Amino acid sequence: MKIAVIGCGYLGAVHAAAMASLGFDTVGVDVDASKVERLGRGEPPFFEPGLPELLRAGVGAGRLRFTTDVAEAAGSDVVFIAVGTPQLPGSDAADLAFVDAAIASLEPHLGAGMLVVGKSTVPVGTAARLAEVVRPTGARLAWNPEFLREGFAVQDTLAPDRLVYGVEPGDDAAVERLDAVYASVLERGTERLVLDFATAELVKVSANAFLATKISFINAMAELAETVGADVTLLADAIGLDARIGRRFLNAGLGFGGGCLPKDIRAFQARASELGHADTLAFLGEVDRINLRRRDRMAALIERELDAVGGDRVAMLGLAFKPDSDDVRDSPALDVCRHLQRAGRSVIGFDPQARETAGRVLPSLEIAGSVADAVRGADVLALGTEWRDFRELDPVEVAQWTQARVVVDGRNTLDAARWSAAGFRVVGLGKPEVQPA
């Protein structure tokens, strides 16, 4: 079976490498020549654990190649659409320009028996519209939403917790073709759901909206906890024991960011409004606002601590929006750095992987080459991304690198007792402060 993947960004590059690892002859197509060149050498243009090995194996075996020529998708049995759907400038709606351009570029190369499969996150109703474009070519359309977590993308592609197929009524051939693609995944007992287009489209955005709501709920509780002196982490432990609620994604702190959750909940709201249901998803506006308030709160806490010690310099540990990624799109940590810079504070940041991407997005930020370099000379330390490197830091050693004796833990993930024993005061979000031992 021959497979093509249109769009070789985060989603497409991982998917193409995964398809090749399953034994398929795979070609990835992207308009960015420099990206194509790097991928062709087996070098991903972003950090994702496990992807370099998968790419090199596919390229080395001759099963995986990359090109800028969409004509090379001709004759493929399955063509996956994996382009981005960013937030439309000046609007909350999703920008479908890349999806539409991908379909338009493919049209001359489609033919009978080919299956076009959308993986991009799109507003409900998009698949039905695109099916009308694809049908005259003799090809068919299906929608197979992705559920990747950055940092776990390879695992989530090759061992997902479910597969969702959105197909037109009675299109058994599309189901059979997708079953052939995912045969090894299905053999492991992975749940497979065959749905209509609209339901398949709603699965992804609904899941993201629910996760965002759960995160913002516990952060709303953190706001109350700070006022009454409660501990939001212990609160989350207690309510998370309820099987109906569960503990996952009940971690209060700096909130969510990245290229999916923020823009997806906004696009979901925008689409609901277009459909005459603005009130139905109005609560997502508050979910968004709670999330953004956590950034303001962390910046305020850092400024308070700087004023208390008569200092001006903060070391931000972590710049990516989440650990195990170099993605700084809508990064809460980077946003806090901006807040502090606007307030006239001196900020130096460090991240194990996102130093280059952060430097491109925020050139005014001073970026250190190591934790030691970042904290040296700082008046306050701050944790913005919960990398294992930071969670496992020896606070006794850190105390030797810096005169700072307060750390603002924006992820509530540091071992406060260890840091306290080393002479630090630990300030969390929604938690009582821990004084130096």
Which residues participate in catalysis according to the annotation?
260
Assess contact for 48 and 85: CB atoms under 8 A. no
Task: Please enumerate, as own/partner, the contacts of 39-42 that have beta carbons within 8 Å and a separation of 24 or more.
Answer: 39/8, 39/13, 39/66, 40/65, 40/66
Q: Please report the DSSP string for 203-270 in residue order.
A: HHHHHHHHHHHHHHHHHHHHHHHHHHT--HHHHHHHHHTSTTT-STT---SS---SSSHHHHHHHHHH
| Collapsed DSSP state (helix, strand, coil) of residue 103 | helix
CA–CA distance from 189 to each of 90, 163, 192, 196, 203 (Å)?
44, 11, 9, 22, 20
Environment class of 437 (CB within 10 Å of its CB; exposed 0-12, middle 13-18, buried 19+): exposed
Between CA 322 and CA 197 the distance in angstroms is 31
| Collapsed DSSP state (helix, strand, coil) of residue 117 | strand
Assess contact for 87 and 270: CB atoms under 8 A. no
Structure tokens, 36: 């194509």
- C-alpha dihedral sign at 96, 262, 407, 437: negative
Structure tokens, 171: 């299109």
Assess contact for 383 and 390: CB atoms under 8 A. yes
236 contacts: CB under 8 Å, gap ≥ 6: 218, 221, 247, 250, 251, 252
The single-letter code of the amino acid at 419 is: W
Assess contact for 7 and 30: CB atoms under 8 A. yes
Structure tokens, 365: 């930020």
Nearest CA to 140 among 158, 176, 116? 116
Chain Cα centroid distance, residue 36:
22
Between CA 263 and CA 93 the distance in angstroms is 8
